[in-house]
Amino acid sequence: MRAELAPFAVDLLLALAGLGVLLALRLVPRRASAMAAALGLAYLTGAAVVPMVLIAGLAIGIPLTLTTYAVVVLICAGVGAMRSRSQEEGRTPAAQVRWTRRWRSWPAELWIAGACIALLGLLVAVGMFSALKMPLTGWDAWSIWARKAQMLTVHDSLIEGFWTSPSYSWTHLDYPIQYPVWEALHFRAAGVFDAQALLRHVWLLLLAFVWAAAYLLRGQARPLVWAPLLLLAAAAPGVWEQLLTGYADVPMAIFAGLGAISLALWLSQEDGRLLALAVVMLAAAANTKNEGLMAAVALLGVAGSIAVVRGLSLRRFAVAFAFVATAILPWRIWTAAHGLEGDMPVSKGIDPGYLLDRVDRVWPSVQTIGQELANQGRWLYLLPLAALAVAASLVSGVGRRIAGFYLASFVLVWFGLVWSYWISPNPLDWHLTLSADRVISVPMFICLAAAVHLFGLLLSAAGGQRRRMRDSAHPSIASSD
């Protein structure tokens, strides 16, 4: 019984810790209905913050135990409770459609959204059931992530016999450990190392992402927009196939995608709380995979450039950038102190001579990444939908700055992927074959964020235009209103 139920208690406590962080940031009002609506965002916030704190503890010798985990959760929840009492509740965007009306009076829009939500629940249930029968056969899933989670389950510290041993260098011991720590918490709660059972909880990350994205964009996009698009993304084979392998690419993309949404909202609303949320999510992405660090730098770089043009507070943005850097430092300092180096020659990546000597790797990388992005059988037309939304926004002027942010972020992340293959010491064909279908997860989640956000703004603008045309055609009705 413990092996089946206790890991779900870990998820509940992560949601509690995340709720405390959201309350501390005053992103969620201290009302039961509001906190319930933000539960998906709370879970991902907890899954971001708690492992980062535990990684910092591991780096300085604090053991990873369930007791340590409980203390971190209680601190997060306690700080949130105290700040929510001592400060005035922040404003939250009002939902444009009320779900509290009687179901018989629901408009067609809510019926469509309800059907999409029901299908999403069915998809997650089927995925979790399928996970019970799926062995952990993915090479990276076991050799890079689950093996480290196993060591953190058996031992409560970063024992040098494993983490610094040349015998295990092929497991990329320098890689960030946000995902293994998250896995290890579930294994410790279960009392047994069962990688197959863990895949059930990976599906909760996807469910939480859909829930969190809908919550964040509820004031920007109506259910008629976000429900079908988020369901489309969850049903994309490029997403659920990876979830059944236990790879870290989709969890990383989930954090990066929410970071992109939060940054886009900050650029339009100039609300510092949204910038703080973006920092949390991007720091988690950077602590999950090296590609997550690249995505975080790209997203923050684009947002910072737009902030300069708009005259937003650069000091606040600099603090945000510094926080992301600080969040990844504990692990980077520990690996550097123990002589763990990655195989990517990043310092050579800005050497013109080195790049020119390897320029023949560029076009094959561009081709392969382009082919994966164009594979709509795996991504269910998310890229064309995002392209249409961005083009419509740029032409119409509705959400043009946000469209520019998503477009520039996509291009910069795409260039970062090409650059990583360009400088990689690995044989190019082998490297592309093993990873190209997975590393595009972040660009595709940026596409999803752009499609939901921009189509929501475009639909709202079209609705406002229709109302103005109606009022101008019937001035007596408008004046009586």
32/20 Cα distance (integer angstroms): 13
pTM across the whole model: 0.92
Lowest mean pLDDT among 19-28, 44-53, 207-216, 343-352: 343-352
The pLDDT of residue 125: 85
Q: Is residue 429's pLDDT more than 60?
A: yes
CA atoms within 13 A on the CB side of 404: 18
Q: How confident is the model at residue 221 (pLDDT cuts 50, 70, 90)?
A: confident
386/457 Cα distance (integer angstroms): 13
Q: Compare 10 and 129 and report the one with higher pLDDT.
A: 10
Q: Is residue 416's pLDDT more than 90?
A: yes
The pLDDT of residue 316: 81
Lowest mean pLDDT among 94-103, 139-148, 342-351, 391-400: 94-103
The pLDDT of residue 478: 45
Q: How confident is the model at residue 181 (pLDDT cuts 50, 70, 90)?
A: very high
Question: Cβ–Cβ contacts within 10 Å for residue 338, how many?
Answer: 13
Q: Is residue 90's pLDDT more than 50?
A: no
> Exposed e or buried b for every residue in 196-230, given b needs 16+ CB within 10 A?
ebbbbbbbbbbbbbbbbbbbbbbbbbbbbbbbbbb
255/286 Cα distance (integer angstroms): 9
* pLDDT tens digits for range 21-67: 999 999 998 888 889 999 999 999 999 999 999 999 999 999 999 99
Q: Is residue 98's pLDDT more than 60?
A: no
* pLDDT tens digits for range 376-413: 889 999 999 999 999 999 999 999 999 999 999 999 99
The pLDDT of residue 92: 45
- Angle among Cα 21, 25, 27 to the nearest 5 degrees reads 100
Strands in 27-85 per DSSP E: none
229/382 Cα distance (integer angstroms): 8
* pLDDT tens digits for range 242-278: 888 889 999 999 999 999 999 999 999 988 899 999 9
Q: Is residue 287's pLDDT more than 80?
A: yes
Domain ranges of the chain: 2-85+111-466
Mean per-residue pLDDT of the chain: 87
Q: Is residue 103's pLDDT more than 70?
A: no
Question: Cβ–Cβ contacts within 10 Å for residue 89, how many?
Answer: 13
Contacts of 439 (CB under 8 A, 6+ apart): 249, 291, 369, 417, 420
Q: How confident is the model at residue 89 (pLDDT cuts 50, 70, 90)?
A: very low
Three-class SS string for 385-448?
HHHHHHHHHHHHCCCHHHHHHHHHHHHHHHHHHHHHHHHCCCCHHHHHHHHHHHHCHHHHHHHH
